[in-house]
Amino acid sequence: MGIKVDFRKRYYNKKSDKKKGKEASFTLDVQFELGDELVVLFGRSGSGKTTTLQCISGLLEPNGGKIVVNDNVYFDCHKRTNLPVQQRSLGYVFQNYALFPHMDVKKNIAYGLKGWNEVNKEKRVIEMLQLLHIEGLEHNYPSQLSGGQKQRVALARALAPKPDILLLDEPFSALDMVVRMKLREKIKEIQRELRIPVLFITHNHVEAFTIADKVVIFHEGRVQQIGTPEDVFYQPSNRHVAELVGLSNIFEDAIALNVDEAPETLVLECGNLKVITNKPDRIVAEKVSWGIRPENLRILPLTDDAKSRENTFKACVKSVVNKGASKVLALEIAEHKNLLLAEMANQFFEDVDLRTGDECLARIEMSKIVIF
């Protein structure tokens, strides 16, 4: 059971380019094999997430490869199998909901129940209304619903025919925080109950982290890493993944040196910037990249006597950006001219009260350094 995907889809600038054998302008090359779990497809816009979903659903035909869901072959290039969308037994929730505007909620939900008798149809619609807590809305038209209600109806409609797989294309991007959180929980609950693969596209990393059993990271048409949220967030496999999961401060080509006096630590030398970190469990190459999240940089007043502690550098504030509950500071490390981003909660910021041009100390938390 689960989903096994290995396919390619090529795009050309012009139709004639394909005939002339020119190189494709964008190639999507996707491989992953996952169980009946909640999978988040995570990546920037244009990295191939939606195309992947469309290929799985059959709305697009890949140029080669194989797609199998629950032992049911949806697409196989070699055997020339390409199951029509209608026969794939899938639920698809579109980014803009795509609720039929000329049908009320009840008709929308029942639309996929072709061939069911009226009694069962009615029963199933009521079940769906209850599952998504939208009882009482059945005679409303989509234009009379709020964003959150529309999303619930879209989910109900997709789930009504009992699909083998549920595909969600950025379903919550137009919703406010509170509604988002509620619906995230709902999706998790539904997945646990139905035990079907759920593929969920997002480019919000908080969403990816909170909802996913597994995360598949996309970058420029390629899968970069597959793993649990902890894996990809704390052990990104490369720079693209690191950037995507919010490691804004990245240093490439650092030389990793062992320290004889302290065998459990490692010195990372990048130009003339040296930081000490805990030695990871795995074997580290001689040349590595490392990064640190903005929230893991500690800002201390210049007068602090911690100046001599490890990984602490004198820095100059280049800019302060207010993010509401926190402030993001761009810091230039005095000796190295490296620019670092630091994020700190407002209450801590008030203590140091820094302005552009001020000097401070920046400490890179040793235990929070991520090596990849």
Partner 1 sequence: MVSVFLKTDELKMLEQVWFPLVITLKIAITSTLLVALIGVIISYLLARRDFRGKWIADVLVTLPLVLPPTVTGYVLVVLLGRNGSLGEILYDITGWTILFTWEAAVIAAFIVSLPLMVKTTTAAIEAVDRDFEYAAFTLGRKELETALFITLPLAKKGILAGTVLSFARAVGEFGATLMVAGNIPGRTNTMSISIYSAFQAGNNELANLLVIILITMSFASMAITAKLVNSWKI
State how beta strands 287-292 and 273-278 pair.
Answer: unpaired
Cα torsion through 304, 307, 313, 315, rounded to 10: 30
Choices 38-46, 107-115, 224-232, 283-291 (CB under 8 A): range interacting with partner 1: 107-115
Choices 67-75, 109-117, 177-185, 338-346 (CB under 8 A): range interacting with partner 1: 109-117
CB of 91 to partner 1, least distance (A): 7
Choices 66-74, 93-101, 189-197, 284-292 (CB under 8 A): range interacting with partner 1: 93-101
Among 13, 25, 81, 96, the residue binding partner 1 under the rule CB under 8 A is 96
Interaction residues for partner 1, span 295-334 (CB under 8 A):
none
Asked if residue 157 binds partner 1 (CB under 8 A), the reply is yes
3-state helix, strand, coil in the chain (%, to 5): 30, 35, 35
Which string of DSSP letters, residue by residue, matches 60-85? Answer: S--SEEEEEETTEEEEETTTTEE--G
Q: Residue 229 carries which DSSP code?
A: H
Among 13, 46, 72, 100, the residue binding partner 1 under the rule CB under 8 A is 100
Choices 62-70, 154-162, 197-205, 211-219 (CB under 8 A): range interacting with partner 1: 154-162
CB nearer to partner 1: give 65 or 163.
163
Select from 326, 369, 367 the least CA-distant residue to 350. Answer: 326
134, 153 in Cβ contact below 8 A? Answer: yes
Among 2, 64, 112, 147, the residue binding partner 1 under the rule CB under 8 A is 112
First to last CA, the chain: 32
Among 20, 78, 79, 102, the residue binding partner 1 under the rule CB under 8 A is 102
Interaction residues for partner 1, span 32-71 (CB under 8 A):
57-59
Select from 184, 185, 163 the least CA-distant residue to 173. Answer: 184
| Size of site (CB under 8 A) for partner 1 | 24
Among 158, 245, 315, 341, the residue binding partner 1 under the rule CB under 8 A is 158
Among 12, 32, 111, 234, the residue binding partner 1 under the rule CB under 8 A is 111
Cα-atom radius of gyration of the chain, to the nearest Å?
25
Q: Residue 258 carries which DSSP code?
A: E
Q: How many C-beta atoms surround the C-beta of residue 284 within 10 A?
A: 17
CB of 27 to partner 1, least distance (A): 22
Asked if residue 91 binds partner 1 (CB under 8 A), the reply is yes
Strand partners, 314: 361
> Which residues are at the interface with partner 1 (CB under 8 A)?
57-59, 85-88, 90-92, 94, 96, 98, 100-102, 111-112, 114, 141, 143, 157-158, 161
